[in-house]
A and B are shown apart, each in its own frame.
Chain A
Amino acid sequence: MFRIKDIVLFLACFVLTASSLTASAQSDMLVFTPQWTAQAQFAGYYVAEEMGFYREAGVKVRIEHPSATMPAMTRLRNNECQATTMQLCQALETVDGGIPLVNILQTSMNNAMVIVSARGKDPLTQKGARVGIWSVGFGQLALCMSNREHLDYEWVRFAQNVNLFVAGALDATLAMSYNEYYQLMQAGVEMTEGNVYRFCDHGYNVQEDGVYMTRDYYNSHKEQARRFAQASRKGWEWAAQHPEETLDIVMRYVEKAHIATNRTMQRLMLQEVLRLQVDRESKKREFRLRPDMVQKASRLMKENGMLKGEVTYESLTPDP
């Protein structure tokens, strides 16, 4: 027969285990990993943290950045974070790869990708050129465009910065209009209409940055996700109204992360990111995923063999 001491011990273990499981499921600590190293691209989230918007919303948030060679999606997949930002095309690839995602907040309303060509040449005339592309997975649209235009680019995957291009090791490079574009200008590269190809101006204006969670996590933390998204949006709206104060906050984050940048560069980045948040048609900062853009991106990627099947807008929304 069981002794009373054994029964008490068993009950105590059971209660402790049940408590820890419950606490884990209902924990309001959310680890958020933006898709790149610390910079003004994520200013709204820094503002939300520093100004207490997350705290007011009752969400505990810890912002952890990835390394330049480690995609943020890997952290999400490994459960090292619960929310991340990623580009729409990358989200479509991930969903198509078997990991259901939910877009809880869409910040970017326009495409920011460009190709910058060396020696003043038009990128569309450089068939077979050696073109730099990020190793962490941005650039799906560029691959689509290259296939469609039969450019046969030789893609060279790099971790970060523009050093390969500046050293003359590449004929052209992908760049974001808010980041590498200004890095190239800072390096003395002359930008003209002739050597810069903007995807948004050539029928590839597909949204980019949004905040994503895995569907499993979202389903068990809907309220947390809603509050986090709301507070993040508030952070972005505050940033748009107070750019210089926002820059002060951003500079604290970049200093803490030992990022080699400067205030001028971050100011240009913030201005461009805020500009990209304004929808071209409505002229408003909408913070929503557009079904037509999801459809366009999905179709393009499927046509170019990057998706097995089209990923629908509904499969990305919180409550399909």
Chain B
Amino acid sequence: MIQWFRRKLSVRVSLWVVMFAAVIFIAALSFLFYQARDAVRQEAVSRATQILDNTSERVEGILNRVEVATNMTKWLVQRHPDNPDSMFVYSRGMLLNNPDFYNCSIAFEPYYFKDKGRYFSAYSKHEGDTIRTIQGGSDNYQYFYMDWYLMPALLDHPCWTEPYMDFDAPTNTTGMVASYCDAIRDGQGRVIGAINTSLSLSWLSQTVSSLKPYPHSYSIMISRGGTYFVHPDTTKITRQTIFTQTFEQPDTALTRLGHAMQRGEDGMMHTIIGGVSCYVFYQPLGSTGCSMAIVCPESDIFSGFDRLQRTVTTIVAVGLLLMLYLFIRIITRMPCDWSQRPRNRAPLGKGSGNHRIGTVRRQVARLPTHR
């Protein structure tokens, strides 16, 4: 076969031409694909970032309402801290003016109102079409040891608690909520209680879960402590953290991602999640301490690009093969036309040129081959 290639000038010439063309095509296409792939990646980053920004803005708008309403109510309480009955009005009023809030409690230090006993918490909660307002706190629920009561006093600023599942015994239902809380202080700056407004996160969960820039992408949200409260696998919500699965299967990439999200960073990470190569775009959610991320499988992002790449590569390969075949045919045919002329056994290069040239094939075969 090789000898045949060596003897066949047409094949050799054609191969050289096609190979040269192939090298140029490969170089040009490689550069094009590299730039195009990068452009696609940038487009994905831009798309995901825009989605995250829009969602973050929408969510923060709602969270901001909770913060403003709580601050206003706190201001009222601090202006009239000695009238316990007013606390029920304030807590109920919070829910009347904001029907989408989950509950509100205004709680005080033990025995702050001496005639009310050790526990005093004006607690209001939506129950269907009505608002239930009660005095909360008991030996079974010592609110002054709860996160929402302690955190703002310890941190010396208002804050959001970790999301948690609130179990409502009367209706036997659970709902995921997070609470915005702030310390109530007297005129001397001493902490006398705390106000806490809770927001159901079901809507947030649905909103974030619906973020799907690509067919197989999904969204997650984690709290300050890394706990999932949005995840396509609902069994993980509030039960697992982003680090839980690394206990049994160490995963430095996932650990890095978790820590980055906990630190409130935004960015993009290329990693492998669940055996699938993914791009993860993440962003913090305001002052909540939470962070959300969109996980996009690499195959989704580059599916169009990969399809184009395969098509172009196929076209170029077929084109080059066709070119090779045509070149061989053309070069081979050219001596066939000469063989039609009268034979002349005289060597080429001598004579007046008026003699008809013999069979070129045999004469060409006598020509020295140059390598």
A residues with a Cβ closer than 8 A to B are: 67, 69-70, 74, 130, 135, 156-159, 161-164, 166-170, 185-188, 258, 260-262, 264-265, 268
Check A258 against B174 for contact (C-beta < 8 Å).
yes
Bound CA–CA A186/B222 (angstroms): 12
Bound CA–CA A18/B146 (angstroms): 47
Which of the listed residues B139, B150, B164, B245 has the most CB atoms from chain A within 10 Å of its own CB?
A: B150
Check B239 against A261 for contact (C-beta < 8 Å).
yes
Bound CA–CA A163/B174 (angstroms): 20
Bound CA–CA A6/B297 (angstroms): 88
Check A70 against B241 for contact (C-beta < 8 Å).
no
Which chain B residues border A168 with CB–CB below 8 Å?
A: 155
Check B155 against A167 for contact (C-beta < 8 Å).
yes
**Interface pairs (18), CB distance under 8 Å:** A69-B142, A69-B145, A70-B140, A135-B142, A158-B147, A159-B145, A162-B225, A163-B224, A164-B154, A166-B224, A167-B289, A168-B155, A188-B226, A188-B255, A188-B259, A258-B174, A260-B238, A260-B239
Bound CA–CA A260/B237 (angstroms): 9
Cβ 8 A contact of B162, one of A74, A157, A163, A262: A163
Bound CA–CA A156/B145 (angstroms): 9
Given known A69-B145, A162-B225, A166-B225, contact A188–B241 (CB-CB < 8 A): yes
Check B141 against A69 for contact (C-beta < 8 Å).
yes
Instruction: Tell me, yes or no, whether B248 is within 8 Å of chain A by CB.
Output: yes
Check B244 against A157 for contact (C-beta < 8 Å).
no
Bound CA–CA A186/B146 (angstroms): 21
Which chain B residues border A169 with CB–CB below 8 Å?
A: 150-151, 154-155
Which chain A residues border B155 with CB–CB below 8 Å?
A: 167-169
Given known A157-B145, A260-B164, A261-B239, contact A163–B225 (CB-CB < 8 A): yes
Instruction: Tell me, yes or no, whether B240 is within 8 Å of chain A by CB.
Output: yes
Bound CA–CA A264/B236 (angstroms): 12
Which chain B residues border A74 with CB–CB below 8 Å?
A: 139
Per-position contact with A for B218-243: 1 when CB-CB < 8 Å, else 0?
00000011110000000010111111
Given known A163-B147, A167-B224, A167-B289, contact A260–B154 (CB-CB < 8 A): no
Which chain A residues border B224 with CB–CB below 8 Å?
A: 163, 166-167
Cβ 8 A contact of B165, one of A158, A186, A258: A258
Instruction: Tell me, yes or no, whether B167 is within 8 Å of chain A by CB.
Output: yes
Which chain B residues border A159 with CB–CB below 8 Å?
A: 142, 145-147
Bound CA–CA A67/B143 (angstroms): 12
Check B151 against A164 for contact (C-beta < 8 Å).
yes
User: Closest 6 CB pairs between A and B?
Assistant: A169-B154, A69-B142, A159-B145, A135-B145, A187-B225, A166-B225
The closest CB in chain A to the CB of B174 belongs to A258
Which chain B residues border A188 with CB–CB below 8 Å?
A: 225-226, 241-243, 255, 258-259, 262
Check B140 against A69 for contact (C-beta < 8 Å).
yes
Which chain A residues border B197 with CB–CB below 8 Å?
A: none
Given known A163-B147, A264-B248, contact A186–B241 (CB-CB < 8 A): yes
Check A170 against B154 for contact (C-beta < 8 Å).
yes
Bound CA–CA A21/B134 (angstroms): 39
Instruction: Tell me, yes or no, whether B247 is within 8 Å of chain A by CB.
Output: yes
Instruction: Tell me, yes or no, whether B161 is within 8 Å of chain A by CB.
Output: yes
**In whole Å, how far is A36's beta carbon from the nearest beta carbon of chain B?**
14
Check A164 against B150 for contact (C-beta < 8 Å).
yes
The closest CB in chain B to the CB of A165 belongs to B225
Which chain B residues border A265 with CB–CB below 8 Å?
A: 244
Which of the listed residues B225, B227, B248 has the most CB atoms from chain A within 10 Å of its own CB?
A: B225
Given known A187-B226, A260-B238, contact A164–B243 (CB-CB < 8 A): no
The closest CB in chain B to the CB of A74 belongs to B139
Which chain A residues border B244 with CB–CB below 8 Å?
A: 186, 262, 264-265
Q: In B132-184, which residues have CB < 8 Å from any A CB?
A: 139-142, 145-147, 150-151, 154-155, 159, 161-162, 164-165, 167, 174
